[in-house]
Structure 1
Amino acid sequence: MTKRLDGKVAIITGGVAGIGLGIAECYVREGAKVVLTANHNVDGGHAAVAKLGDDVSLFVQQDVAKEADWQKVIDATIDKFGKLDILVNNAGIGGMSPIIEDLSLADWQRTIDVNLTANFLGEKYGIKAMQKTNDAKGSIINVSSVAGLVGLPTAPAYSASKGGTRMLTHATALNLAHRGIDIRVNSVHPGWIDTAIVPAEAKEQLTKTVPVGHMGEPKDIGEICVYLGSDESKFANGAEFTVDGAQRA
């Protein structure tokens, strides 16, 4: 039986835990080979490869905000699997700043670097790799947030970075389409997802803000990313996919 991502190769940044690992698990289940990256969680990277299988997965340590690291990841992907079909720009950092005038420039810049500039770098190097190894075809999925649609008052830098990712997605999709390049670019906007980074004491309160009555799971984001990475979504381009239990309806 043919699987939905048979023969496809994907890079998933921040792919060793939480939402990223959920995406990776769904991708491997559907027949894809995956390259997972993380900057600090090296042990998690090795554990993820052991879980998924080293014949279908690879871990590369990467600081997504560094251009040289992007070239390293692309080279490792092509060396291992021969091409690139899908790029999932998932890596990101949070950060709260209830009082905006107390937000330091350094914290602001680091959030923008990791959550927005890194997505631009991923697109830049991912598009080149798809052009070189995959007949200029592919899919780019930028993982934004509901905070990219409606600002969070206690997280101005995070909201700005996610809103910027949303508009980068639109602009890149149009840029490529107008040039006749068959690489689609879409964004996914998760709501509250139950991962290890959500404090246990906060889950009950957060759940109350979700109309369906429960938080999402990493797999919920993984499944929409399977669709966007597959040929089923060939007419979906420059679009936003909100997965938030009706929180922003």
Structure 2
Amino acid sequence: MAQNTERAGAAQATPTARAGQVGGTATAERPTLPAPSSRPGQRAQTASVVQEARRGGAAPRKVAVVTGAGSGIGRAVALALFDADWTVVLAGRRAEALAETARLAGLTTPESPALMAVPTDVTRPDQVDALFAATLERFSRVDLLFNNAGTFGRTAPLDELTYEDWHTVVDTNLTGAFLCAQAAFRAMKTQDPQGGRIINNGSVSAHAPRPDSIAYTATKHAVTGLTKSLSLDGRPYRIACGQLDIGNAATEMTGRMQTGIRQANGQLAVEPVMDAADVGRTVVHMAALPLEANVQFATVMATNMPYIGRG
């Protein structure tokens, strides 16, 4: 994935376990670390309580949960939110990948007053519950969920796709998105002040499929239904829900775009890609709106990808 290379100067560290972290144990200390001075523009993270108002009477930092934050689009969005003065909870299956995201944010540990890593498999209800319990214990509220964790699954002709292939994609892309949205909804409904925002990661495949992608395409269409229902059900509680459909962001998952990917006519073709950081900037914009306004659906894509028209 294309990333800003100047982030690479900070040292990586093993995640610190805490009460509520999946696979971890409680610790008495939560470190408070200044950001490395070598990172241009980095703000010092010195407040012991995130919800404490910052110097000069500014509003407290809002709290975002980002799933799939250990790589690709999730990492890019987490870094963009962190740079925009959000407190960020990193969720993903691999603790070492979450620690790398924290390092790229300029932190020497994934534990700081403005960032926390919680290894989470979104297909496991108990782990999703633990993720949001840890977030509420540490930061008291959830203002944003970027519901991003997902998988393409195996690309194969329909008649060769196994039940396990189908089930894996549905569990991650649809059931996992539902479980995270449900947990965020519960928190946003009961917290004070009430409300928050959920942004689901859709795909241009929610509008037009690629060949041999029936599981991925079906789940991304289903995410659109999830988004609409969340928007409707969230109205009484100041919970806004929108969807970002993404096309050809340069990540580990989209490497085939740059080497040749099958087109609708059966031919292989190299497709243009965009920097995943552009997705991060789009999410920051959507998240910055007041809860009285909502980007219901947005598409951000490589300008020249073969999606609009006939390719």
Letter paired with 1:242:
T
Counterpart of 2:217 in structure 1 is 159
After TM superposition, give the deviation of residue 167 of structure 1 in Å. 1.4
- The normalised TM-score by structure 2 is 0.71
Residues 10 and 32 of structure 1 are in contact (CA less than 8 Å); yes or no, is this contact kept in structure 2?
A: yes
Any gaps of 5 or more consecutive residues in structure 1?
A: none
CA–CA separation in structure 1 for the residues paired with 2:253 and 2:141: 33
* Structure 2 gap ranges (5+): 1-54, 262-268
Confirm or deny: 8 A CA contact 2:153 2:168 kept in the other structure.
no
Residue 208 of structure 2: aligned partner: 150
Tell me the residue number matched to 2:302: 245
- TM-score normalised per structure 1: 0.88
Is structure 2 residue 258 aligned with structure 1 residue 203? yes
One-letter amino acid of the structure 1 residue matched with residue 142 of structure 2? L
| Per-residue deviation, 1:50 | 3.3
Kindly state the Cα deviation for residue 79 of structure 1 after the two structures are TM-superposed. 1.8
From 12, 34, 59, the equivalent of 2:88 is 34
Whether the aligned pair in 2 keeps the contact of 1:6 and 1:32 (CA below 8 Å) is no
**Cα deviation code 1:107-128 (max 9, x no counterpart):** 1011001001111111111011
Instruction: Rate the CA distance shift 1:107–1:231 in 2: closer, same or farther, 3 A.
Output: same
Counterpart position of 2:63? 9
Partner of 2:103: 50
Contact 2:123 2:176 in 1 (8 A): yes
What secondary structure, in the 3-state scheme, does the structure 1 residue paired with 2:90 have?
A: strand
- Judge conservation of contact 2:196–2:291 (CA < 8 Å) in 1: no
Q: CA deviation at 1:134?
A: 4.1
Which of 199, 224, 232 is the matching residue for 2:282? 224
Q: Kindly provide the CA deviation profile for residues 196-236 of structure 1, in whole angstroms up to 9, marking residues without a partner as x.
A: 3333x640546x675xxx41111111111111211357422
Q: Which has the higher helix share?
A: 1
Partners in 1 of 2:180 and 2:293 — Cα distance?
Answer: 22
State the shift of 1:135 in Å. 2.8
What is the identity, as a one-letter code, of the residue corresponding to 1:106?
A: E
Runs ≥4 residues deviating over 3 A: 246-249
Higher relative contact order (CA 8 A, sep 6+): 1
* 1:187 paired to 2:187: no
Identify if the C-alpha distance between structure 1 residues 107 and 205 changes in structure 2 by more than 3 Å, giving closer, same or farther.
closer
For the pair shown, the structure with the greater C-alpha radius of gyration is 2
Among candidates 72, 87, 104, match of residue 18 of structure 1: 72
Q: Let me know the Cα RMSD of the aligned residues.
A: 2.3
One-letter amino acid of the structure 2 residue matched with residue 14 of structure 1: G
